[in-house]
Amino acid sequence: MQTLKNILCISLLMLAISIKINQAKECKIPENNEDIDWDKVKNDWYQGLHTNDEVMKKDVIGAKFRNFTKTNEGMRIVVIDLHENSPPQTLTFDFTKRRDGVYFAEKSEEPAVLASHTLTPDGRTNNKAKKIDDALFDGDNLVLCDEKNYLVYAFCSLSDEWVVWVAFPSLNPTIHQISLMWNKLIEKGIIVQLYPSKTVEHPEFMESLK
């Protein structure tokens, strides 16, 4: 819980910094980024922070990432999503590498993938969340990972705002890991406010996932 409070304090501090130094930061994928050796990204990772976008605040309450695999095209990952409006879903995503740190998410035609972020409580489609998914699958995505402390997935929404999803190797990241992540975001010119995933506040939600 103490770490969670620290996350919130750091997030509020970053928001204050963003207001002071850059009120209208352009959403643009940086040109020069670090390569990632996916063979070194081991074990399970957990979503810890996000920008409280329409996907995260309406449906997805947390996620587990596993089986990171380097492919000829880029990388493959297995994601277990926890949802407010539907049962947990295990999904496989393929990413094509554009250049170091920049990937294109290959859109699957599987109904479970297409609906995984956009369901409403009555089973309909959340059109605002669908726009986030449209941006996710239609443009370049920045992936920042030092292979052991943080995994950042960032892309520009259709309204030209940053969408940022952050994972750590545990649901209780250390202050060191959080600081490394913030420093990398600042280095890339990404100044956003981040919110804890519901599974950070309620880790018991993850206990049933194997």
What is each CA distance from 120 to 83, 113, 117, in whole angstroms?
10, 15, 9
Q: Which two tokens stand for residue 14?
A: 């970053």
**Do 155 and 136 contact (CB within 8 A), yes or no?**
yes
Residue 120: predicted pLDDT: 67
Domain assignment of residue 25, yes or no: no
For residue 169, the model assigns a pLDDT of 95
CA gap 37, 158 in Å, rounded? 30
Q: How many domains does the chain have?
A: 1
With respect to residue 33, please indicate whether it lies within any of the assigned structural domains. no
Residue 194 lies in a domain: yes
Q: Is residue 35 part of a domain?
A: no
Q: Report if residue 114 sits inside a domain.
A: yes
Is 29 a domain residue?
no
Instruction: Write out the residue range of the structural domain in which residue 150 sits.
Output: 2-19+41-206
Whole-number Å distance between alpha carbons of 180 and 185? 9
Residue given tokens 């990241």 in the structure block: 173
Is there a contact between 197 and 50 (Cβ–Cβ < 8 Å)? yes
pLDDT in tens, 21-34: 444 457 999 999 99
For 129-179, how does the pLDDT look when each residue is reduced to its tens digit (9 = 90+)? 888 888 888 889 999 999 999 999 999 999 999 999 999 999 889 999 999
- Dihedral sign, CA of 177, 15, 195, 95? negative
Backbone angles phi, psi at 170, to 5 degrees: -155, 165
Domain at 10, CATH number = 2.40.128.20
Pairing of strands 140-145, 151-156: antiparallel
Report if residue 28 sits inside a domain: no
Condensed to tens digits (0 to 9), the pLDDT of residues 94-136 reads 999 999 999 998 876 555 555 666 666 667 777 888 888 888 8
Does residue 109 lie within any of the structural domains?
yes
**Using CA atoms, how far apart are residues 95 and 15, in angstroms rounded to an integer?**
31
